[in-house]
Structure 1
Amino acid sequence: MERWPALELASTIRHDGDGGVTDDLATVQGTAHWIQEQGILPTGLPAGELAADENLRLGIIELRQAVRALFARAVSPAPPSPADAHRLMTADQALAHLNRAAAREPVVPQMDWPVEGVPTARLLSAEIDPHVRLVAALARAAIDFLSGPQRTRLRSCTAPRCVRYFVQSHGRQEWCKPSCGNRARAARHYRRQRTAADDGSAPS
C-alpha cells in the first residue's frame, strides 16, 4: 500500500482504542519516535543523528494543523475529521503556513550524467539546520499530495469514533480500514434495531 508523508502526519492524531483521541506528537520523545518510524530524515543525515527538541515538535504540530485544515477543505462538502473540526485554521492561513514552511529550505537542482548512463536530476539543500530541512520536506510532501490526483480520493472516515483521513483505494470504500467498517455496520444495525423497537415493530 502506498504511503504519503502528508497523510501519515495528519494521522498522528488518531483514535486511541478506548473512545478517545491520542496524539503521537504529544511529547518530544513521541515526536522523535514518529520521525524515525516514518523514515523521513533529511537527506544525508544518518538515522539516530536528529536530536528532536520542543521547537521541532511545535514546528511539526503547526504544520500538521495546516495540513489537516487543507484536508478538511479537500473532503468538503463532506464533514472533516471530528478530532479538530471545531478549531481548524482557515484555508488561507493553512496555505500561507504550508508555503512558508516549504520555502524555508533553499534547494538547488543538480544533474548527474554518467558516461554509460542517462542523466538524472536531484535537489540539493543549501540549509544547514536539519530541523528546518525536516519541516520543509514535510511541507513539500503535503504540497505534492494536495496538488496530485490522490487529493480527489481523500476522505474522512465516518466510522464511529474514528478521526482518520484516508485515500480511497476503490470508489465504494467508505472507511479507512476493515475494523472501522465492522464498527460502522454494527452501529447501523443497532440503530435499525432501536428504531424498530421504538416503532413497535421489533419481534417480541
Structure 2
Amino acid sequence: MKASGTVRTVELLDLAPPPAPGAVEHPALDLADSAVALPGGQRLDLLGTPEDATRWLVERGLAPDDAALQEVCAGRLRALRGHVRALIAARIDGHPASTEALDAVNEALSRVPTAALLRWDSSTGFTRRSTHPTDQIVDHALGTLAADAADLLSGPDAARLAACDSPPCIRYLLRSGRRQWCSVRCGDRARAARAYARRTGAPRA
C-alpha cells in the first residue's frame, strides 16, 4: 500500500461495500460513491488508476469491453466525481451550488450528442445509434454521468439525497424512510457506536 493510504489492489476491492440505495438507478450517485473511506483511515478509490477507472466504466456499460483509459481520462472521471459530490453535498446541506462544479457538469453535458444518429447498413437497414470513437469514449461516459447528475439533482429524488450517517463513511444514498446508512455494515457500525455511547456517556464519533 502506498503512503497515501489508498488501497488499489484488486484483491482489496472486496472491501468495497455494495452499492448504496439509489446508486444502481443513478450512475451519478454511484460515481460519487466510488471513493470509499474504510475503517482504520484507509481509502479505497475505485477510479484510482486508469485500469480501475476502465473497469468501473465497463462494468456499468459506459465503455466497451476493449476500452483502455489513459491517466488523463481517468483524471477527468475523478474530477467529475469531485464536482458531482460537491453538488450533492450542497443539495443536502442547503448551500448554494458551486459555480465551478455547475460549469464542469454542464461542460460534460455539452460535449456529447443529445440524440442517436440515423445509420444505414446493407445487412440491417436503418438503425439509430450513437458512435463511440475511441477518443470519444470518455466524453460519452462523462456526458451520461453528467446528465444523470442533472436529473438526480433537479428531479423528485433530490429530496431523498442524504449522507451516510456512519463515520468514517463518506458515501451518499437515497434515503428510504428513516434509514440513513448506505449499507448493512455502516448501519451495524452506527448502532454499535450509539450503544457504546449510551453505556459510557461518551459522545458518538
Q: Same fold (TM over 0.5)?
A: yes
Q: Matched residues in 2 for 1:176 and 1:184: separation?
A: 11
What is the aligned counterpart of 1:30 among 36, 39, 52? 52
Aligned to 2:196: 190
TM-score scaled by length of structure 2? 0.73
- Equivalent residues of 2:57, 2:141 under 8 A apart: no
Q: Matched residues in 2 for 1:95 and 1:108: separation?
A: 22
- Equivalent residues of 2:51, 2:68 under 8 A apart: no
1:176 CA drift (Å): 1.3
Q: Matched residues in 2 for 1:77 and 1:146: separation?
A: 12
Q: Matched residues in 1 for 2:58 and 2:117: separation?
A: 27
Q: Check if 1:162 corresponds to 2:162.
A: no
Aligned to 1:12: 34
Q: Note the residue ranges of structure 1 that are not aligned, 5 or more in a row.
A: 42-46, 79-89, 112-121, 197-204
Q: Matched residues in 1 for 2:60 and 2:113: separation?
A: 23
1:148 CA drift (Å): 1.5
Residue deviations 1:130-151, cap 9 Å, x none? 2222211211121122121111
Aligned to 1:102: 109
1:171 CA drift (Å): 2.1
TM-score scaled by length of structure 1? 0.73
Q: Note the residue ranges of structure 2 that are not aligned, 5 or more in a row.
A: 1-20, 119-127
Which is further off, 187-196 or 68-77?
187-196
Q: Check if 1:65 corresponds to 2:87.
A: no
Larger of the two Rg values belongs to structure: 1
User: SS of the residue aligned with 1:108?
Assistant: coil
Q: Matched residues in 1 for 2:154 and 2:117: separation?
A: 24
- Equivalent residues of 1:66, 1:94 under 8 A apart: yes
